Amino acid sequence: MLITKTFYAKIVRPSWSFSRFIVLLVSSHLAIGQGPPNADIFLVDLDLKSKPAQVGSPTNITQRIGYDNQPSFSPDGIGLLYTSMREDGQTDIYRYDVQQKSTTQLTRTPESEYSPTITPDTTYFSVIRVEKDQTQRLWKFPVSGNGEPELVLKNVKPVGYHCWLSNDWLALFILGKPNSLQLAQTTTGDTVRIEGNIGRALQNVPGKNAVSFVHKRTPTDWEIRQLDLQTRQSSLIVKTLEGSEDFVWTPDGTLLMCRGSVLYHYKPNVTPTWTQLADFSSFGIKQLNRLAIDPQGKKLALVGQ
Superfamily of domain 10-304: TolB, C-terminal domain (2.120.10.30)
Do residues 138 and 171 touch, judged by C-beta distance below 8 A? Answer: no
> At a CB cut-off of 8 Å and minimum separation 6, what does 299 contact?
43, 44, 45, 46, 73, 77, 98, 293
* Euclidean distance between CA atoms 249 and 208, whole angstroms: 12
For residue 71, give the 3-state DSSP assignment. Answer: strand
DSSP state string for 175-200: -SSS-EEEEEETTT--EEEEEESEEE
DSSP H or E stretch at residue 11: strand 10-12
For residue 103, give the 3-state DSSP assignment. Answer: strand
Q: What's the pLDDT tens digit per position in 31-40?
A: 434 567 899 9
Q: What's the pLDDT tens digit per position in 205-223?
A: 999 999 999 999 999 999 9
Using the 8-state DSSP alphabet, how is residue 217 labeled? S
Average pLDDT score over residue span 11-36: 38
Residue scoring higher pLDDT (22 or 255): 255
Amino acid at 3: I
Average pLDDT score over residue span 88-112: 94
> At a CB cut-off of 8 Å and minimum separation 6, what does 194 contact?
180, 181, 182, 183, 227, 232, 234
